[in-house]
């Protein structure tokens, strides 16, 4: 049997959002859960699912208080690391980094969620255009920013999509690099690849699959409550506990952050040639197998 080859960190990513250097100081525990995505691919949804499994369907879980985005520049790294070190429950941490920009540990279990990039951009636009003055102030003015500031979108969602596509994830980071880096290690024993579309199609089944991967025994009597608490209706109603800092960074508050959770809103807005360019780029940047999985959820 061949020995497992574990990914190695080969670069740092630092910009208005990221500071990947924090992973160099993170001290892993054997039970840690790392939730990884490209932004707006189902990260908060998966954090809710994991919290519900860990805490047996409890209703008073403020997930963003206990499950930080580790590579976000705010709050400072030492604050986040100290808070995580003090936690006594099984820790679950989120990242939006590609594999080669974080420390990948054999001690942890990793969940990666993929989503069609067109759906990602529709959610990104909602997030970006509804950020309030506090959001932009924190992202741009916190000490240590490298590179240009983040500015509010001025055009339509289609304009936003076209610029994101042509400029490789602008104004955030490369979508293709992120997806491909996780796809390429999908055979590792401590990584479970998930897809937004499959979560939408069979939430109870996917919750069971996640629980089995994480070695969490599910109380069958509590499963209906867990599934209910992981639905978008429940999450929107309880958005203050789900959204970062209660949604204070967004116009309209937490319910703006927890948006519709639906796919396909780009249909009828993007032109046929827009989608054709996206699909051709997916094939070119990801290869046919990964592009097919990203589009359908089926490998």
- pLDDT higher than 80, residue 250: no
Strands (E), 87-169: 92-95, 109-114
- Mean per-residue pLDDT, 266-271: 96
How many whole angstroms from its chain centre is CA 100? Answer: 16
The answer to the question of residue 280 being in a domain is: no
The answer to the question of residue 283 being in a domain is: no
The answer to the question of residue 271 being in a domain is: no
Distance CA 169, CA 38 (A): 10
- Mean per-residue pLDDT, 178-194: 98
Which range is most confident: 219-233, 254-268, 269-283? 269-283
Chain position carrying tokens 């790294």: 77
The answer to the question of residue 165 being in a domain is: no
Q: What is the CATH number of the domain that holds 236?
A: 3.40.50.300
pTM score: 0.94
- Mean per-residue pLDDT, 174-202: 97
- pLDDT higher than 90, residue 257: no
Q: Are 100 and 11 in contact (CB under 8 A)?
A: yes
Residues forming beta bridges with residue 250, ordered by sequence position: 131
Convert the pLDDT of each residue in 104-135 to its tens digit.
999 999 999 999 999 999 999 998 999 999 99
What pLDDT, on a 0 to 100 scale, did the predictor assign at position 60? 83
- pLDDT higher than 60, residue 90: yes
Tokens of 296: 């359908």
The answer to the question of residue 167 being in a domain is: no
The answer to the question of residue 295 being in a domain is: no
Convert the pLDDT of each residue in 132-172 to its tens digit.
999 999 999 999 999 999 999 999 999 999 999 999 999 99
The answer to the question of residue 161 being in a domain is: no
pLDDT band per the 50, 70, 90 thresholds, residue 259? low
- Mean per-residue pLDDT, 283-291: 98
Distance CA 41, CA 33 (A): 17
Distance CA 48, CA 50 (A): 6
- pLDDT higher than 90, residue 255: no
Distance CA 258, CA 232 (A): 8
Convert the pLDDT of each residue in 21-54 to its tens digit.
999 999 999 999 999 999 999 999 999 999 999 9
Distance CA 121, CA 168 (A): 12
Domain span holding position 64: 20-115+132-150+174-260
Tokens of 250: 């967004």
Q: How many domains does the chain have?
A: 1
The answer to the question of residue 41 being in a domain is: yes
Distance CA 243, CA 253 (A): 9
**What one-character-per-residue DSSP string does 235-274 give?**
HHHTHHHHSGGGGTTBTTTHHHHS----S-TTTTTS-HHH
In this predicted model, which residue has the larger pLDDT, 258 or 84?
84
How many whole angstroms from its chain centre is CA 111? Answer: 10
């Amino acid at each position: 049997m061949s020995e497992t080859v574990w990914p190695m960190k080969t670069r740092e990513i630092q910009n208005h959002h990221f500071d990947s250097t924090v992973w160099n100081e993170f001290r892993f525990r054997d039970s840690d859960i790392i939730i990884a995505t490209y932004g707006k691919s189902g990260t908060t949804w998966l954090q809710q699912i994991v919290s519900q499994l860990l805490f047996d369907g409890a209703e008073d879980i403020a997930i963003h208080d206990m499950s930080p985005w580790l590579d976000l520049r705010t709050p400072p790294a030492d604050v986040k690391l100290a808070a995580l070190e003090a936690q006594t429950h099984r820790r679950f941490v989120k990242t939006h980094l590609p594999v080669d920009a974080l420390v990948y540990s054999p001690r942890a279990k990793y969940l990666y969620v993929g989503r069609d990039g067109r759906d990602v951009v529709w959610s990104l636009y909602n997030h970006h255009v509804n950020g309030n003055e506090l959001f932009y102030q924190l992202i741009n003015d916190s000490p240590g920013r490298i590179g240009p500031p983040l500015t509010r979108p001025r055009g339509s969602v289609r304009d936003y999509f076209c610029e994101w596509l042509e400029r490789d994830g602008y104004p955030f980071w490369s979508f293709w690099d992120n997806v491909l880096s996780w796809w390429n290690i999908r055979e590792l024993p401590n990584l479970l690849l998930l897809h937004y579309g499959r979560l939408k199609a069979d939430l109870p089944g996917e919750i069971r699959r996640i629980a089995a991967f994480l070695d969490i025994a599910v109380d069958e009597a509590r499963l209906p409550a867990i599934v209910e608490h992981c639905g978008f209706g429940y999450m929107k109603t309880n958005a203050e506990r789900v959204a970062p800092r209660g949604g204070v960074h967004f116009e309209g508050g937490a319910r703006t952050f927890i948006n519709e959770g639906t796919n396909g809103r780009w249909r009828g807005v993007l032109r046929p040639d827009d989608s054709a360019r996206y699909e051709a780029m997916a094939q070119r940047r990801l290869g046919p197998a990964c592009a097919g999985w990203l589009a359908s959820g089926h490998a």
